[in-house]
Amino acid sequence: MLKEGTDITSAASGLSLQKARTWDEGISSNFSTTPVTDIFKGKKIVIFGLPGAYTGVCSHQHVPSYKNQIDKFKAKGIDSVICVSVNDPFTINGWSDKLGAKDAIEFYGDFDGKFVKSLGLDKDLSVALLGPRSQRWSAYVEDGNVKAVNVEEAPSDFKVSGAEVLLGQI
């Protein structure tokens, strides 16, 4: 499982994520992906993962906690606040539009779950009809190095992975 001191770019070596986009943007970009190293190298990143787009806690608490605190993160020198979910980039795009959060947060799809699995943050949520997904978590990462990480005990929990907790750790 992801821990403080982990180099996230080494843990996810060779992996890429898919930036949220429309189908037409996918076609025009030739379905491009963004290497994990490009996301983290030389930057201060806040990243949080969640079980799925359009789900309750994710939509009503997790994403809004970061959207509402974006100015505080920027004031602390954070280059980007990123949300990642085991969904395709098109679903993530529609969801982020619905939440009105795309101006504040960068959304990425981990369509096959390889990224969260490489970090030991995968979770089988078949019992909730979601299949393989991500745990609910957050991290502060400097130049690929994990400085703080928070993982909820259960996917429905929202106690340690919100913006307020992470702001206090930066």
Give yes or no: 83 in active site.
no
Amino acid at 125: L
Residue written as token pair 């919100």: 162
32 contacts 168 by C-beta, under 8 angstroms:
no
The single-letter DSSP state of residue 170 is -
Q: How far apart are the first and last CA of the chain?
A: 21
Identify the active-site residue in 12, 17, 36, 58. Answer: 58
In residues, how long is the chain?
Answer: 170
3-state SS assignment for residue 2: coil
- Report, as residue numbers or ranges, the catalytic residues: 58
